[in-house]
Amino acid sequence: MARLGLALGLGFLWLPVLLLAGYAFSESRIPFQWGGFSLRWFAALAENERLLEAAWLSLRVALGSATLAVLLGGATGWVLARRGSFRGRALFGVLAGAPLVLPDVVMGLSLLLLFVLLEGATGWPAGRGATTILLAHATIGAAYVVVLAQARLAEMAPELEEAARDLGAGPATAFATITLPLMAPSLAAGWLLAFTLSLDDVVVASFVSGPAGTTLPMVVFSMLRLGLTPEVNALAVVILAVAALGGGLALLALRGLRRL
Amino acid sequence: MRPLLLRALPLALPGLWLALLVAAPLLVVLALAFAWPTESVPPIAPPWGAEGPNIEPFALVLEDPFYHAAFAQAALVAAGTAALCLLLGFPMAIGLARATPAWRLPLLMAVLLPFWTGFLPRLGAWIGLLRDEGWINTLLQSLGLIADPLPLLYSWPALFLGMAHAYLPFAVLPLYASLSRRDPAVEEAAADLGATPWAVFRTITLPLAAPGAAAAFLLVFIPAMGEYVIPELLGPPGAQLVGRVLWQEFFQNRDWPVAAALAVLLLLALLLPILLFQRLEARR
Amino acid sequence: MPLLSLRALTRRFGQTLALDRLDLDVAAGEFLTLLGGSGSGKSTLLRVVAGFETADSGAVLLEGRDLSGVPPHARPLNMMFQSYALFPHMNVAANVAYGLRRDGVPRAERDARVGQALAMVGLEGFGGRLPHRLSGGQRQRVALARALVKRPRLLLLDEPLGALDANLRERTGFELRALQRETGAAFIMVTHDQQEALALADRVAVLEHGRVVQLGPPRAVYDRPATRFVAQFLGAANVLEGRPDGAGGFDCPGLGATLRPEGALPPGTAACALRPERIALRPLAEGPNSAEGVVEEVAFRGDDSLLLVRAGGGALLRVGHAEEDGAPPPRGATVRLGWEAASVVPLAG
């Protein structure tokens, strides 16, 4: 019974993805119709300037926002797990968890309104585009990093840091030689998760970007609105491959945690 | 005692981030729900100008049945999606929990990986399957089962299929976690005491999985409530869920204050399920 | 001058006093065990000395120098943690070298000292292993080597044998003792296991409610417990309630007999302790220091048997019965009990 349920569920999850991937290699102009094996749609992708430009922007934003997310989320996770109680700790926790539960439309709209107000008041950020998307994605990604880092620190005995202190390490040295290396796998997993989330996001990016900043998902979304073309099909396969690679690496990083 | 500055320093970066990019936007969206729409760029005049705050956006959203329907539809779709995910996810979670240890991780990855394969590509796949000249219609036609293509895409079933597909892993993981945490001997004990397999399931498995199921339901419900992309790409034109309405107010009508008011009310609507979820998590 | 002096150390956690104006002196090269139940403050004491907790009041003096305000890494003493706290991402050699590296010991000397330390605990050749590839006993040794490699004058050990299984525990205990003699460092070892505390220590300090209730050589503490708590905690003595009879004896209604200690009964005696193994199944003298009872339970323990004997006055006595004295009486038998005057220990509190 349960085995059948599992098989059906996995089929439901995988079948559309696998069909999509398979038909991307079809010669036919009509998506999801087999016209013989061909890579022509991938070739067409490589010539689409608009797509390539959007992909380049997405990549830069994803790299930057994932890195920033690890910095912010790692520091916040450490504060929540290791700083004991301080005034405002509860508020810290609630705010750090907020991006996880806020709907994308609310996240996007509220960040956009903030950027607009900030620009009106201070002149920064001048216009919206890569920077604003990066900050928005870093905020969302950081919330996930907080969870991963905090969980890792929670299962890591505080005695390890105390032992380092006892053996002559100052607080900064103990952090650098013990805490940080032990947090590293969770931070790596967090980076990959933030990277994937950034590459996947269309709603928040649409809100906080300006005319100059069109990310790859925004292009794909507008193409999908008009229906599926073989080009989108091929593009989807590329995204799928990149995202699956990132996801696989993140899982491996999390598995690495268990050995430590 | 270390100096105060040294103790406060590690708090600076997280504090700055949370204040500027999490707390401030929420306060701004609340404030600008009382702003005035204008024809200028940006199309908004703040509530602290000469005209004072504008209560029109909230009044409109609270009074107009169109917006009521948007919230009701979103709640129903979110609840329906969550129920669908539980129905599909429960047997999957049991299957995962009963798998041999060697199989467990690969199977878990198989559940997780589609979740990582990009949200839009997966929706693209559904479009390709469901549209008039899509895979399903072509298949049915070539088998001679139907003459004309069925209007599968842009329908409520398509919307629910896409939602369930996107959110299923959210349900499977907490269910699996609560099932695998449990001592497998309790089911054996029930069987030993004379319970039939069905009685074991009804009296032991199901009640023990209840908190996990509640968590799974909420974990799907909360993000599904504000969903925009799936209704837009797969749903019927009549599926005017609150996320979609908010988007249209912002991008098409350029009525930022009404969009902000919708965002605030959507947040308030989600507060109860979020608090419920946190209580469930705290109890575990 | 003592190596370590604790003066009126007080530490409060919310409503509970973990340390209550505790005074203690530890001499150089001494092996001291801190014995107490959970919540007695023994772990807090170690953490205050190591610098992980700050005392609310009182002083920690190491060779006369006040350590308050000195952070853990600057304290010239080391600690071995109950969980061992081995750094999971470093191999054995790197774990042991960690403290030397922090002190900037040059590489050649560091390697030599790590090698010595590992040899000392019998782990030559294990330097390249990661902690999770070691057995529990091996991990314990790495933790010990890591704490000793800096040659501290004072080593704090928090339940160092607690995570080991029973037969490893005895052997490791002897090794600890030998290492302590070899290094000449003073050891302060926290334990809740009375046998361990008695077997290893030069002196035992029994802690209760954040205070040292008795301090002395193991035999003295065992033979002459000062309080009811010490008597019951160490060796589970029979504590017999009653009152002085005014004639040098101690009337115990539960026993239905009079206890007469050697020498005079101190004023204010509230109870007397009587060790199970000091009670014989025959009267040793007529008059006081003998009683009658019915055997309720007989538990065979290998080298002896434990009898639960209901005395005439209703008190339940634990009585040890050595194997060489023949088969113990059966359940339900009426027995006469007797003991030496020297075995009667008057208790104050």
- pLDDT, one tens digit per residue, over C187-207 is 999 999 998 999 999 999 999
**Average pLDDT estimate for B97-112:** 84
CATH number, position A170: 1.10.3720.10
Q: Is residue B2 pLDDT above 70, yes or no?
A: no
- Kindly state the percentage of chain B with pLDDT values over 70: 96
**Average pLDDT estimate for B245-249:** 96
Query: Contact A110/B28, CB-based, under 8 Å?
Result: yes
Q: What pLDDT, on the 0 to 100 scale, is given for residue A229?
A: 79
Listed by start position, the domains of chain C span 4-223, 236-347
Which architecture, in CATH terms, is C236-347? Answer: Beta Barrel (2.40)
> Which residues are CB-contacts of B170 (< 8 A; sequence separation ≥ 6)?
B85, B216, B219, B220, B223
**Per-residue pLDDT tens over the stretch C110-163:** 999 999 999 999 999 999 999 999 999 999 999 999 999 999 999 999 999 988
Residue whose tokens read 């070691």? C134
**Per-residue pLDDT tens over the stretch C304-348:** 899 999 998 899 999 999 888 888 899 999 999 999 999 999 997
Q: Which residues of B touch A113 (CB under 8 A)?
A: 25, 28-29, 32, 256, 260
**Per-residue pLDDT tens over the stretch A154-178:** 989 999 999 999 999 999 999 999 9
Q: Using CB atoms, pick whichever of A157, A177, A182 lies closest to residue C83.
A: A157
**Average pLDDT estimate for B186-198:** 85
Q: Which residues pair with B262 in a beta bridge?
A: none
- Tell me the shortest Cα–Cα distance from A130 to chain B, in angstroms: 16
**Average pLDDT estimate for B258-280:** 93
Sheet holding C203-208, edge to edge: C78-80, C154-158, C186-191, C31-35, C203-208, C211-216
Phi, psi torsion values for C311, nearest 5 degrees: -75, 165
C91: nearest CA partner in chain A: A260
**Average pLDDT estimate for B55-67:** 94
**Average pLDDT estimate for A118-123:** 90
- Split at pLDDT 50, 70, 90, the class of B247 is very high
Q: Is residue B78 pLDDT above 80, yes or no?
A: yes
Q: Which residues of C touch A181 (CB under 8 A)?
A: 89
Q: Look at residue A77 and tell me if it is in a domain.
A: yes
Tally of domains within chain A: 1
Q: Which residues of A touch C150 (CB under 8 A)?
A: 167-168
**B115 Ramachandran zone, left/alpha/beta (phi>0; psi -120 to 50):** alpha
Query: Contact C87/A160, CB-based, under 8 Å?
Result: yes
Q: Which of residues 60-119 of B touch A (CB under 8 A)?
A: 88-92, 94-96, 98-99, 105, 107, 109-119
Q: What pLDDT, on the 0 to 100 scale, is given for residue C102?
A: 94
- Candidates B271, B269, B265; CA nearest to B249 is B265
The CATH code of the domain at C4-223 is 3.40.50.300
ipTM, 2 decimals? Answer: 0.91
Query: Contact B46/A200, CB-based, under 8 Å?
Result: no
Q: What pLDDT, on the 0 to 100 scale, is given for residue A258?
A: 57
Q: What pLDDT, on the 0 to 100 scale, is given for residue B1?
A: 44
Residue whose tokens read 């080391």? C78
pTM of the model: 0.88
**Average pLDDT estimate for B79-98:** 93
Q: What pLDDT, on the 0 to 100 scale, is given for residue B5?
A: 66
Q: Spell out the long-range contacts of C228-235 with Cβ–Cβ below 8 A and sequence spacing 24 or more.
A: C228/C270, C228/C271, C228/C273, C228/C347, C228/C349, C229/C349, C230/C206, C231/C273, C231/C345, C231/C347, C233/C35, C233/C36, C233/C37, C233/C194, C233/C206, C234/C35, C234/C194, C234/C198, C234/C206, C235/C194, C235/C275, C235/C276
**Average pLDDT estimate for C77-85:** 94
**Per-residue pLDDT tens over the stretch A122-150:** 988 888 889 999 999 999 999 999 999 99
**B141 Ramachandran zone, left/alpha/beta (phi>0; psi -120 to 50):** alpha
Radius of gyration of chain C (CA): 24
> For testing the chain C interface, which of A161, A162, A165, A167 should be mutated: the one with the most C CBs within 10 Å?
A167
- Split at pLDDT 50, 70, 90, the class of A257 is low
- Candidates C16, C19, C204, C17; CA nearest to C8 is C19
d(C-alpha C247, C-alpha C253), whole Å:
16
Q: Look at residue A14 and tell me if it is in a domain.
A: no
Q: What pLDDT, on the 0 to 100 scale, is given for residue B119?
A: 85
Q: Which domain holds residue A127?
A: 49-259
Q: Which residue has the higher pLDDT, A25 or C119?
A: C119
C208 to B31, B81, B235, B261: CA distances (angstroms) = 60, 59, 71, 62
Q: What is the DSSP letter of C280?
A: B
- Candidates C293, C197, C193; CA nearest to C238 is C293
Query: Contact A102/B227, CB-based, under 8 Å?
Result: no
Domain B57-283 class? Answer: mainly alpha
> For testing the chain B interface, which of A91, A106, A107 should be mutated: the one with the most B CBs within 10 Å?
A106
> For testing the chain A interface, which of B13, B112, B117 should be mutated: the one with the most A CBs within 10 Å?
B117
C177: buried, middle or exposed (CB in 10 Å: 19+, 13-18, 0-12)? middle
Q: Is residue A259 pLDDT above 60, yes or no?
A: no
B267 touches chain A (CB under 8 A): yes
Q: Using CB atoms, pick whichever of A10, A16, A101 lies closest to residue B122.
A: A16
Q: Which residues of B touch A125 (CB under 8 A)?
A: none
B37 touches chain A (CB under 8 A): no
| Cα C232–Cα C235–Cα C241 angle in degrees, nearest 5 | 35
**Average pLDDT estimate for B177-191:** 83
Would you say C68 and C60 are in contact if contact means Cβ atoms under 8 Å apart? yes
Q: What pLDDT, on the 0 to 100 scale, is given for residue C266?
A: 86
**Per-residue pLDDT tens over the stretch A173-195:** 999 999 999 999 899 989 988 99
Q: If you average pLDDT over every residue of chain B, what do you get?
A: 89
- Tell me the shortest Cα–Cα distance from C13 to chain A, in angstroms: 14
Q: What pLDDT, on the 0 to 100 scale, is given for residue A179?
A: 95
d(C-alpha C202, C-alpha B79), whole Å:
70
Amino acid at C106: P
Q: Which residue has the higher pLDDT, B136 or B161?
A: B161
Q: Look at residue A22 and tell me if it is in a domain.
A: no
Listed by start position, the domains of chain B span 57-283
Would you say A69 and B220 are in contact if contact means Cβ atoms under 8 Å apart? no
**Average pLDDT estimate for A93-98:** 93
B168 touches chain A (CB under 8 A): yes
Q: What pLDDT, on the 0 to 100 scale, is given for residue A246?
A: 72
Query: Contact B128/A20, CB-based, under 8 Å?
Result: yes
Would you say B6 and A64 are in contact if contact means Cβ atoms under 8 Å apart? no
**Average pLDDT estimate for B117-144:** 85
C87 touches chain A (CB under 8 A): yes
- Candidates A22, C189, A102; CA nearest to B222 is A102
Phi, psi torsion values for C61, nearest 5 degrees: -115, 125
**Per-residue pLDDT tens over the stretch A205-220:** 999 998 878 999 999 9
